[in-house]
Amino acid sequence: MRNPTSAAPTPADVTALARERFAGGANLVAGRLTQGTSGRTHTVVDPATGADVLTYELAGAGDVDAAVAAARGAFPSWAGATPGERSDAMHRFAGVLAERAEQFAQLESLQCGKPLKLSREFDVPGSIDNTAYFAGAARHLQGQSAGEYSGDHTSYVRREPIGVVGSIAPWNYPLQMAAWKVLPAIAAGNTIVLKPAELTPLTSLLFAQAASDAGIPDGVVNVVTGAGKEAGEHLVGHPDVAMTSFTGSTGVGRRVAQIATATVKRLHLELGGKAPFVVFDDADLEAAVHGAVAGALINSGQDCTAATRAYVQRPLYDAFVSGVADLMATVRLGDPFAPDTDLGPLISHAQRDRVAAFVDRARSYARLVTGGTVPGGALKNGAYYTPTLIADAAQDSEAVQAEIFGPVLVVLPFDSDDEGIRLANDTPYGLAASAWSTGVYRANRATREIKAGCVWVNDHIPIISEMPHGGYKASGFGKDMSAYSFEEYTQVKHVMFDNTAVAAKDWHRTVFGDRP
């Protein structure tokens, strides 16, 4: 690995690092790297060039069983550690992550095609901050205060870990998703088996290794990298897994819910999104245009909260459309490792083709304002797609209703405030939204009436460790990050002490005997 302060890293350097670091396989079970035993392999590919990065053996059911057994074995002593001990270990964990920040950024950019500036300034520091946050929060698990609610008893609530958590993560933010899954689970005293997406295991493995190197006991954090249908379903249905936490598409989430329900598991689902971006006619137009381009294109639009549907009040509509098109034209596609690159490729050629097919179908029912092309030249081997703006699509059209998950923004006009809010709510999803206005009453109304787990005002995308992230409607239920995530990863127990020391208690008369 090159020193980040000397020469810029190259994909070849980072590929060599990945091959050296993960030669032992793409599972981390009880602190050791292992190869999967499914009999099938997967190759991580650099989406910017199509070059092979790392071939590994996919995990099968036996590997999941081994990881669950390791997590089960580690549970009693981790759950029994004091909050202070868990907190100390997690503070050390945050320290190890910070020391390896540049390595995380480079591996994340290599496997995802993210511009290095995005990995360095968003994914990695966000994950380190999450770790530091949960290291502190581990000492603040609270139950209701004790009291004599019946008069004759003292009641209190214990907040307890659930057991082994089985988590499944997507490929769009592999490091952040690993952090969001692992940190609240272990801060609360659970142990975990994480299954990253097959395409992007590298930073999840590095994250789990950092936990181990920080002194978090082996078996507390395990990783198995296998196919969704095989390793994923086996993990969800596993009888020794007490909770499933899934982040991914709504379609797969439905399948996961069926399996988890059949085995009566605690379930947390973070699913797809189709975030509206509502611009009222008193908005700062320049701010809205900048916000729309950044919000739509971040991570090549492969962001569950990305701005995907801009609704713009009629007086600003034409200026907004031309402003967004002009700004999109300035966005520089290129090598994720080049310092002047704004936008990298999509995660894979298959995902690029899927996005292109959505746009191609939209050409027949809407107006393509800009984009909609696959760049050639130096980018021809990568999974690149140009920033795309679609106008004049009907509200019930596919481009407005379906999650495209690419650098594509759809823009529609509206007249009254009522209409803007109604259209914003008119998809199955409810993960995130934004309202753009300089009027406090208007913006406040939008925050109340838009049905989404997060509503920004005059911004779109920022997240923070202290605040919850999670969906309404078909975007799922449960919260990541913040103290709210402990509602998912703990269970509460009512403890009730009799205070009377009387053998024949008054209430026993409801079962036998008469009132004296």
Candidates 161, 184, 248, 291; binder of ligand NAD (CB under 6 A) is 248
State which residue, 161 or 406, has the beta carbon closest to ligand NAD: 406
Least distance (Å) between residue 166 CB and ligand NAD: 10
Report the DSSP pairing between strands 27-29 and 32-34: antiparallel
Annotated catalytic residue 270: yes
Helices (H), 395-439: 398-401, 417-424
Binding mask 166-195 for ligand NAD (x = CB under 6 A): --xxxxx----------------------x
- Please name the residues in contact with 193: beta carbons below 8 A apart, sequence gap of 6 or more: 64, 67, 68, 71, 164, 165, 166, 167, 222, 223, 224, 235, 241
Residue type, position 228, single letter: G
State which residue, 180 or 317, has the beta carbon closest to ligand NAD: 180
Nearest residue relative to ligand NAD (C-beta): 228
- Residues facing 244 on adjacent strands: 166, 267
249 interacts with ligand NAD by CB under 6 A: yes
Least distance (Å) between residue 69 CB and ligand NAD: 20
Q: Which range, of 35-43, 266-274, 275-283, 434-442, touches ligand NAD by CB under 6 A?
A: 266-274
* 3-class secondary-structure state, position 305: coil
Residue type, position 64, single letter: V
State which residue, 169 or 362, has the beta carbon closest to ligand NAD: 169
307 interacts with ligand NAD by CB under 6 A: no
236 interacts with ligand NAD by CB under 6 A: yes
Sites for ligand NAD among residues 314-343 (CB under 6 A) = none
Q: Among the options 57, 270, 403, 488, which is catalytic? A: 270
- Residues facing 434 on adjacent strands: 277, 456
Comparing CA positions, the residue from 243, 128, 160 lying closest to residue 194 is 243
- Residues facing 147 on adjacent strands: 155
Q: What is the dihedral of CA 350, 353, 359, 364, to 10 degrees?
A: -130
Q: What is the dihedral of CA 147, 149, 154, 158, to 10 degrees?
A: -70
- HEC string of 390-402? EECCCCCCHHHHC
Least distance (Å) between residue 219 CB and ligand NAD: 22
165 interacts with ligand NAD by CB under 6 A: no
State which residue, 36 or 476, has the beta carbon closest to ligand NAD: 476
Rg (CA), the chain: 25
Least distance (Å) between residue 271 CB and ligand NAD: 5
| Residues 225, 25: Cα–Cα separation, whole Å | 9
- HEC string of 376-393? CHHHCCCCCCCCEEEECC
From residue 462, give the alpha-carbon distance in Å to each of 317, 397, 452, 457, 486: 25, 29, 15, 11, 22
272 interacts with ligand NAD by CB under 6 A: yes
Q: Which range, of 30-38, 125-133, 209-217, 247-255, touches ligand NAD by CB under 6 A?
A: 247-255
300 interacts with ligand NAD by CB under 6 A: no
494 interacts with ligand NAD by CB under 6 A: no
Q: Would you please indicate which residues are annotated as catalytic (active-site) residues?
A: 270
Give me the residues that bind ligand NAD (CB under 6 A), please. Answer: 168-172, 195, 197-198, 228-229, 232-233, 236, 247-249, 252, 255-256, 270-273, 304, 403, 405, 431, 471, 475-476
